[in-house]
Amino acid sequence: MKLKLDTSNDLSLYIHIPFCITKCDYCAFYSVSHQKRETIEQFFSLLIDELKIMVSQRSVPFKTVYIGGGNPGLLGPDHLLTLVTLISSLGKVDEFSIEMNPESLDEKMYPLFQQGINRLSIGIQTLNEMHLDTLQRSASKEATFRALELSNYIHATFGTSINVDIMTCIPGQTIEESILDIDTILSITPVHHISLYNLTYEEGTLLTKRKDRATITPIPEEKEREFLITLWQHLEKRGFHQYEISNFATQEEYQCKHNIRYWNLEDYIGVGPSSVGSFHQDNGNSFIRRTGVPSIEKYLDCNERYEIEEIEKRDEIVEYMMVKLRVVKGIDKEIFFHRFNLSFDAFFSKELEFMKKNNSEEFIETQSTFSLTISGLLLCDSIISLFCNALLDRFTPLDCKK
């Protein structure tokens, strides 16, 4: 299938830098550690070639850009500046984010924020050395404190907004320790956005293998609920408002615009190994998924670096439900009908009736919206399954023509 992108449409860009110093035990994203500089240089050369072609084909700036990983800092400040300069040559990006592990953030990165990056996301996870060891994080507590102090300067000098990633429900962790992590971070730098994740055990990760061998003991499910409710309430007291199950911002302007485009299933394209993009073609009639090969070797050595497939309408709706029910605002029924030509109330009448009888405290429904309450967000996986199973069981192409 040939890739056809409109040169002037709203399009976001994700760039995956797959390199890490060491791979954290919980991480299920594609990344590789201990790579030779020669491999990194070869990767960067190919990445720049891809981006030059993409930039040459566009007539307007990208709406949002996110450089993630892995640890993008391992490209080095000069290569990152080349990336940022190339992308910014199209014009100002509304929101230009970069992830940075604490050990990679230093003064040499300052030109990135002069050139166009206006959002910095620091992967902290925890400040507790024992829990850092459980996660097998490469950043020390000292490196994290230094990164927070540098982010304070970056915000004050360049106006860059700051996000921090925090992980909770780590084996052996207490709620009080999680609260201390949050409060200590906020005492050092003016954070505008917090992504708070409870630790999950993904298939194939070293952490899951350790759990299966009983060398670590996961926090019980009921205790996880207590963790999340307590921490969500604490973040609200500290001025952070929840707008998605794991994301909190001090003001609406600091909500992650790039992620919101993901959650709205708006068009974006990914570049790099294992990167993912989804976008519309043929005047919106086709919904396309493009996925990078999850292998640095294949990315470097072959011409077929991406797989492209057309997503069926039913699967597009399933994906839409999976992301929108995790967002606090939930589903706008008019937008749902306009996008899929499908009545939310009519198609899901059985599920809505079931929810009213059995889960009335887990959702809020109006004539125009359907969203989950705080208690509903804690059960979102089972609620999402209820609606998505209905789609898988009953949907036919004719449903979108009614």
- 42 burial level (CB within 10 Å; 0-12, 13-18, 19+): middle
Say how far apart CA 23 and CA 142 lie, in whole Å.
Answer: 19
Could you give the CA distance from residue 234 to residue 148 in angstroms, rounded to a whole number? Answer: 21
| Residue written as token pair 């000098």 | 157
> What percent of the chain shows pLDDT beyond 70?
97
CB half-sphere exposure, 229, CA atoms < 13 A = 12
Phi-psi region of 58 (alpha: psi -120 to 50; beta: other; left: phi over 0): beta
Of 352, 382, 388, which is closest to residue 367 (Cα–Cα)? 352
pTM for the full model?
Answer: 0.95
Distance, CA of 184 to CA of 170 (rounded, Å): 18
Joined together, the tokens standing for residue 272 give 């790099």
Phi first, then psi: what are they for 167, rounded to 5°?
-115, 140
Neighbours of 259 (CB within 10 A): 22
**Other beta carbons less than 10 A from residue 132's beta carbon:** 20
Secondary structure (3-state) at 288:
strand
Preceding peptide of 292 cis, ω within 30°: no
From CA 327, how far away is CA 272, in angstroms rounded? 28
Are the C-beta atoms of 255 and 243 separated by less than 8 Å?
yes
Cα(164)–Cα(124) distance, rounded to whole angstroms?
Answer: 6
pLDDT score at 140: 86
**For the segment 106-125, what is each residue's pLDDT rounded down to a tens digit?**
999 999 999 999 999 999 99
pLDDT of residue 286: 86
Q: Which residues of the chain have pLDDT under 50?
A: 402
Looking at residue 398, what is its pLDDT? 65
- Between the alpha carbon of residue 210 and those of residues 198, 206, 213, the distances in Å are 17, 6, 5
Q: What is the dihedral of CA 31, 32, 33, 38, to 10 degrees?
A: -130
pLDDT tens, residue by residue, 242-300: 999 999 999 999 999 999 999 999 999 999 999 999 998 877 678 999 999 999 999 99
Closest CA to 157 of 103, 120, 104, 194: 120
- Give 382: exposed, middle or buried? Use CB within 10 Å, 0-12, 13-18, 19+: exposed
3-state helix, strand, coil split of the chain in percent (to 5) is: 45, 20, 35
Q: Which residue has tokens 């925090």?
A: 166
**Model pLDDT, residue 138:** 84
